[in-house]
Every structure is written in C-alpha cells, then in structure tokens.
Amino acid sequence: MMNSPLMPIIIPFAFAILLMFAPKQLRFQRAGALVGAILTVAASIWLLQKVHIDGIQVVTFGSWPVPYGITMVSDMVSILFVLTSSIITLFTIWYSFRTIGIAREQFFYYPGVLLMLVGVNGAFTTGDIFNLFVFFEVLLMASYLLSVLGGEKIQFRESIKYILVNVVSSALFVITVAMLYSVVGTLNMADIAQKVSDVNQPGILTAIAILFLVVFGLKAAIFPLFFWLPSSYSGPPIPVLALFGALLTKVGVYAITRTFTLFFTGDIAFTHTVLLYLSVATIVAGCIGALAVWDVKKIIIYNIIIAVGVILYGVATYNDTGLLGSMFYVVHDMLIKAALFFLVGIIVYITGQTNLKKMGGLMKRYPSLGWLYLIAAFSLAGIPPLSGFIGKMLLVKGGFEAEQFASGIWILLSSLIVLLSVIRIFVYAFWGKEQQLPPVKKTVYWQIWIPTAILVLLTVAYGVGADALMPYMTQAAEVLANPQLYIDAVKGGK
C-alpha cells in the first residue's frame, strides 16, 4: 500500500461523510461508526508493523519533491499516537450506544467523532508545520460540534470559553508559523530541522520556540495555560469528555514533543529548561486541583493536567531514557484516562450525580465495578506491575540521568497525590453509608460495563506485556533522540 500513512485518516473521513447522508437512521449510524473505527484500528496496527519492520513511511502528494509537496510521515512516534487514538475512539463509540442519548446520535454525533479522529490522526501524521495547523482546525471544528451537541445550558456556557481560547491559540499559531517561515523559508518539518542549523540567528529561533510552546501549551493545558480546561471539559457528556480528555491535550503534547526534539534543539540549555520547569509546575497545579474538588469528573480532569506535566518532563530531560519513558507513559495515560472517564460515567449513571460527598455504599450492589475502578486507579497512580509504574520509573530514571534529582523525586511523590485523589472516589463512592439510588436498568449497566472492563484489561495487558512492546517504544524514542533518522527518511524519499 503506497499511501499507507494516509489510511488511518482516509478511513474515518470516508465513513464520516457516509454517515452524514442518513443522520436519523440509528442502526446505520451505530454500525457505520463502529465498522469505520474497527477498520481504522486494523489499518493502524498494520501500519505499526510496517513502520517497525520497514522503517519510516513517507507520502508526498502529487509526487512533488520534498519540501515543495505536502508530506505525510508515519514514524514510530506518530503511529503509536495514531493507534492509541483509534483504539480509544472505537471504545468510545461502543460506550456511546447506551450513554450519549438517541437525540445526539441522530444529530451527527458519530460523524463528529470520526471527523475529530481525522483531525487527531492527521495532526500526528503530517510532516508539514502549516498542515499541523490545518489538522488542528479540523479536530477543533469537530470538537466544537461535540461540545455543544444536546444543547444543555452548561455545555453552551463552557463551550464559549473553550472556543475563545482555541481561536486565540489558532491565531497565534498562524503568526508563529509565519515567523518561522520568514527565518528558514520552508514549512516541511524535516527541511526546517535541516535548515535551522544553518540559520545564524539562534536568538530568534529560541524566541520562536517559546512562542510555539505557548501555542501548543494552550492546547496541551500546561502551567499556567491550563485555566480553561477544568470547567470546559466538565460540560460535555461522558463519552465526549473521554474523547477530549484522552486525545485533545495529547495532540498539544505531541506537537511540543515533535518540535522540541526535531528542530528546536539549538539552545537546549534554555528551551528545555523552561519546559522542565513548566512541566513540574503543571504537575503541582494539577495535584492541587485534584485534591481540592469533590466532583468526580473534575478529579479525573485535573489528573489530565498532571499527566501532561509528567509526559513533558521526559521530553524536557532530552535523554534516551526520559524520551522512552514519555512514549511509554503517554500511551498508558491515553488508555487509562478513557477507562477512568468510562468508570466515572457508570458511577454517575448509577447515582444520578457527580458530588462525591453524596455517594456511598456502591460496593454492596456493584462489587465488580468497584474492583474494576480500583485497578484503574492503581494503574493511574503507577502501582507495580501496572503500566503507569513502568512509564514513571523510566521518567524518573531519565530525570536522574539529567541530574534533575529534585524534580525526579517530585515525579515519584506526585504518584502518591494522584493515588490519594482517585482513591477518594473509591472510598467515598463504594464504601461508607449506602445512599438511596435512582432506578437503574441492569441491561444498560452491563452494556456500558463491558467495554469499560475490556479497556481496563487492555491497560493491564499493556503493563504486564511491557517486554513485548518495548521494542516499539525504543524505536520511537530513537527517532526523537536522533532527528536525523526522520530527516533522512523524508528528504531521501524512503
């Protein structure tokens, strides 16, 4: 397949367009979305193996020579992000059948989900900095639809803040890309990486790097630019929140990771030190927020912010171990965040509320849900042998290798705060005095419990099977640590 990097983009796009023709046909919408997501996962797995065996895959539209054509690149970094995003979208579609509501399902919900996946996978795959902006806009337009779908008052209120922040961020993105183009004269990321070393203006490149950090930091929700996220993400329904929480901030994280390892490497002593301090501050802010709130959704939302800081910490250390830890941890975090939002969604469905203080005694009636949540909570906190432990230990080791001992210890200590924040949900919701519960349809409960349980088990398998997956993670870390591999693959047309 000559255009294999395009398949995880083309497949959801084709199914999204197809589903728009019959929005009221519920079975058609569900079946089409599910089949589209399954085919996208299958194409992503196939592409993962192709990249692993044959190396980086490159497609340039119209057979134009690099850097004149639009280039799409699948290396191990991008395909791991693409595969994880596709898996999460598949499970979210399955989970949505009984949770999102028929009114939303019949008003372009599934096309919106698939189009958001198009934007996410496109952002991970593009080899052109301007087209990164284009795919950002695609995913944002789809997310705007999903954030207001249903027309609830809280959705409209919070979506205004979300849209305004992203409009400002997008405008700043275009300005920053224009500044970079004025300095290097190209938009192809491999070509930029090759030319920045020839530019005798290290000061202006450092300034542009910080501007990009602001642009992508707004989207990734790093300190102090996370202010919009907790309330904006609390508005949409649970399946949409799971998609947003697992995928959208990770696009910003990917953009920082890619740019700060590919071409903003001329002044590491400054740029990556700034990133290190911001990542640590992001973890602190997220920990404070997670302990301060009693809304079950917001507890997990603040843990999104913590994870962003943890992942970027590995990028900031800029050594092989830290980058390996970031790659392993980001896949873990995307999967576990989606699983935790699914679990919280079930708790909210059972109790009819999100206030933790008004819950209690669920363990008596729903023991399987309680133990499933505890496994997910332990994984998020990094309890061995679950996947969170492996990623965090690699990150801490990378920090120590970079002689960042205080921040490395803080990464370890933050795991205890994360555990405390999520274990509160287990203690308050599942133990204590049993509260009066609204009637629950057992069939609906089990229909949303099954995809949630499978996703939690997938995260467990990710940790237990780490040895089998480590060659893929190592290959991804090598591309980040040695940008010449990426440049040679794109410029050589391999």
pLDDT in the model for residue 196: 85
pTM for this entry: 0.94
Rg of the chain over Cα atoms, rounded to whole angstroms, equals 21
pLDDT tens-place string over residues 21-60: 998 999 999 999 999 999 999 999 999 999 999 999 998 8
> What is each CA distance from 4 to 130, 131, 171, 491, in whole angstroms?
22, 18, 32, 18
Do the Cβ atoms of 471 and 399 come closer than 8 Å? no
pLDDT in the model for residue 212: 94
pLDDT tens-place string over residues 451-480: 999 999 999 999 999 999 999 999 999 999
d(CA 147, CA 24): 20
d(CA 33, CA 255): 27
pLDDT in the model for residue 1: 46
pLDDT tens-place string over residues 72-112: 999 999 999 999 999 999 999 999 999 998 989 888 999 99
pLDDT greater than 50 at residue 494? no
Torsion, CA 140, CA 141, CA 142, CA 147, rounded to 10: 80
Helix axes 405-425, 367-381, angle to 10 degrees: 170
If you count them, how many residues does the chain have?
494
Do the Cβ atoms of 181 and 212 come closer than 8 Å? no
pLDDT tens-place string over residues 375-401: 999 999 989 888 889 999 999 999 999
d(CA 490, CA 492): 5
d(CA 373, CA 356): 15
Torsion, CA 20, CA 26, CA 27, CA 32, rounded to 10: 30
d(CA 254, CA 30): 30
pLDDT in the model for residue 151: 72
pLDDT tens-place string over residues 145-192: 998 887 778 778 888 888 898 899 999 999 999 999 999 889 999 999
pLDDT in the model for residue 3: 67
Do the Cβ atoms of 21 and 106 come closer than 8 Å? no
Instruction: Enumerate residues 6+ apart whose C-beta is below 8 A from 393.
Output: 325, 382
Do the Cβ atoms of 396 and 410 come closer than 8 Å? no
d(CA 149, CA 107): 8
pLDDT in the model for residue 200: 67
pLDDT in the model for residue 96: 94
pLDDT tens-place string over residues 304-327: 999 999 999 999 999 999 999 999
Closest residue by Cα to residue 38 from 108, 111, 87: 87
d(CA 178, CA 185): 9
